[in-house]
């Protein structure tokens, strides 16, 4: 009899997901098993989460819900190993670049598979995750999966043809925002603020602004208008951003990442 949840791979992404699921009480530690490659990771995961850890992927694949959280290069080998173990459990892959077609080819046409793309803020419990699937997966399985992803951030079901857009707007965009935070902090340092304080002021301003968009549901333009008083400081800064092509640069960055994702999957 398998456990309720199995993780194959518990590195950066797998551990962040584990932490969210256990932290939200969606499963008890004794209901979760992870399989990893090294003894070092096994010890760390056992100590940190108190779950059973194995090196036998088939054992983890006996669980009712199986997360595939190994690197894309490791996934084909793992799928070969567990293919015979897979029955009607729910398989959730986080591997970038593996679409449902490839996952079905690797795991069987009748497997219940969800393809997901979380992002690295999962490590801070603030991921944006996209999940897509096909008609092999029923509504209850979809709801269960979304709830699991919501334990470490936000999650939405999307059509699979949006996964390249997802790669740009949430998969890659944390790097773009880190660059913006770094640039804002550089400017504050140039204005005399100590470096450590500059990162806090810049990062908290990004966090707060994002929260305003999500919490109020207001159009970002309306929120911008609300902080730009006539002849004030902020509108001068906005004009500078427009002059320097900020919007075009960001549109270009997100679309370039989406295009690269399409190219990498051979589309
Ligand atoms: N990090 C991201 O930003 C991000 C975002 C979205 C999606 N993803 C996806 O998440 C997946 C994992 O990425 P990651 O950054 O978490 O990688 P990672 O930190 O390298 O973790 C990979 C895990 O897989 C284990 N592993 C490797 N080969 C294995 C095998 N043959 N059988 C069982 N376990 C094995 C590793 O064990 P050891 O530690 O013992 O080697 C490790 O625990 C990738 O497919 C990636 O595309 C990552």
Question: 115 and 172 share a domain?
Answer: no
256: domain CATH number is 1.10.3730.10
pLDDT at 267 over 80: no
Q: Which residue has tokens 């970002």?
A: 220
Residue where a domain terminates, one of 106, 128, 158 = 158
Q: What token pair was written down for 91?
A: 């398989």
Looking at the structure, tell me whether residues 122 and 140 fall in a common domain.
Answer: yes
Q: What is the spatial distance between Cα 90 and Cα 111, in angstroms, rounded to a whole number?
A: 8
173 and 122 part of one domain: no
Alpha carbon of 18 to ligand 1 centroid (Å):
13
Whether 21 and 137 map to the same domain: the answer is yes
Other CB atoms within a 10 A radius of the CB of residue 228 amount to 15
pLDDT greater than 70 at residue 231: yes
One domain for residues 241 and 189? yes
Looking up residue 97, the CATH number of its domain turns out to be: 3.40.50.720
Q: Are residues 85 and 171 in the same domain?
A: no
Substitution candidate for ligand 1 out of 6, 7, 8, 9 with most atoms within 8 A of CB: 9
Same domain, 130 and 174: no
β 90-93/65-68 pair status: parallel
Last residue of a domain, one of 109, 126, 158: 158
Indicate whether 195 and 132 sit together in one domain.
no
What does the alpha-carbon distance between residue 104 and residue 23 come to, in Å, rounded to a whole number?
A: 31
Is residue 31's pLDDT more than 90?
A: yes
pLDDT bucket at 1, cuts 50 / 70 / 90 = low
Kindly indicate the confidence band of residue 165, based on its pLDDT and cuts at 50, 70 and 90. Answer: very high
Cα atoms found within 13 Å of the Cα of residue 180, Cβ hemisphere only: 16
Handedness of CA 75, 81, 84, 89 (dihedral sign): negative
In the chain, the percentage of residues whose pLDDT exceeds 70 is 100
Q: What pLDDT does residue 2 have? A: 76
Q: Is 72 in the pocket of ligand 1 (CB under 6 A)?
A: yes
Q: Encode pLDDT of 90-139 as tens digits.
A: 999 999 989 999 999 999 999 999 999 999 999 999 999 999 999 999 99
130, with CB counted inside 10 A (0-12, 13-18, 19+), is: buried
Rounded to whole angstroms, how far apart are CA atoms 147 and 17? 12
Provide φ and ψ at 143, rounded to 5°.
Answer: -65, -45
For residue 10, the ligand 1 atom closest to its alpha carbon is: 43
d(CA 221, CA 243): 17
Instruction: Choose one of 132, 158, 184: the last residue of a domain.
Output: 158
Of the candidates 174, 129, 125, which has an alpha carbon nearest to the alpha carbon of residue 155? 129
Residue among 6, 8, 12, 120 to mutate when testing ligand 1 (max atoms within 8 A of CB): 12
Query: Are 100 and 227 found together in one domain?
Result: no
- Say yes or no: 17 and 104 in one domain: yes
Rg (CA), the chain: 21
The 3-class SS string of 49-82 reads HCCEEECCHHHHCCCCEEEECCCHHHHHHHHHHH
Instruction: Specify the number of domains making up the chain.
Output: 2
pLDDT (tens digit, 9 = 90+) per residue, 39-88? 999 999 999 999 999 999 999 999 999 999 999 999 999 999 999 999 99
**Domain match, 25 and 54 both:** yes
Q: Is the CB of 93 under 6 A from ligand 1?
A: no
Sign for the pseudo-dihedral over CA of 187, 197, 219, 257: positive
Residue with the nearest Cα to atom 25 of ligand 1?
9
Q: Are residues 179 and 114 located together in one domain of the fold?
A: no
- Structural domain for 140, as ranges: 5-158
Residue pLDDT, tens place only, 186-226: 999 999 999 999 999 999 999 999 999 999 999 999 999 99
Kindly report the protein residue whose alpha carbon is nearest to atom 46 of ligand 1: 95
């Amino acid at each position: 009899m398998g456990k309720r949840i199995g993780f194959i791979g518990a590195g950066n992404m797998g551990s962040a997901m584990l932490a969210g699921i256990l932290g939200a009480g969606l499963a008890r530690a004794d209901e979760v098993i992870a399989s990893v490659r090294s003894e070092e990771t096994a010890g760390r995961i056992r100590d940190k989460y108190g779950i059973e850890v194995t090196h036998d992927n088939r054992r983890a694949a006996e669980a009712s819900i199986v997360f595939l959280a190994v690197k894309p290069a490791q996934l084909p080998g793992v799928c070969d190993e567990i293919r015979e173990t897979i029955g009607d459990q729910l398989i959730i892959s986080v591997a970038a670049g593996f679409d449902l077609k490839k996952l079905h080819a690797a795991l069987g046409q009748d497997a219940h598979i969800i393809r997901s793309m979380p992002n690295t803020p999962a490590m801070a419990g603030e991921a944006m995750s996209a999940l897509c699937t096909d008609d092999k997966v029923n509504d209850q399985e979809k709801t269960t999966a979304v709830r699991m992803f919501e334990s470490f951030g936000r999650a939405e079901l999307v059509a699979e043809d949006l996964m390249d857009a997802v790669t740009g707007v949430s998969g890659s965009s944390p790097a773009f925002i880190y660059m913006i935070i770094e640039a804002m902090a550089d400017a504050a340092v140039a204005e005399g603020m100590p470096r450590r304080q500059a990162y806090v002021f810049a990062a908290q301003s990004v966090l707060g602004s994002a929260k305003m968009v999500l919490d109020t549901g207001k159009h970002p333009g309306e929120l911008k208008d609300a902080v730009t008083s006539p002849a004030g400081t902020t509108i001068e800064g906005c004009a500078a951003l427009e002059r320097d092509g900020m919007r075009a640069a960001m549109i270009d960055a997100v679309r370039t990442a989406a295009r690269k994702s399409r190219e990498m999957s051979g589309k």
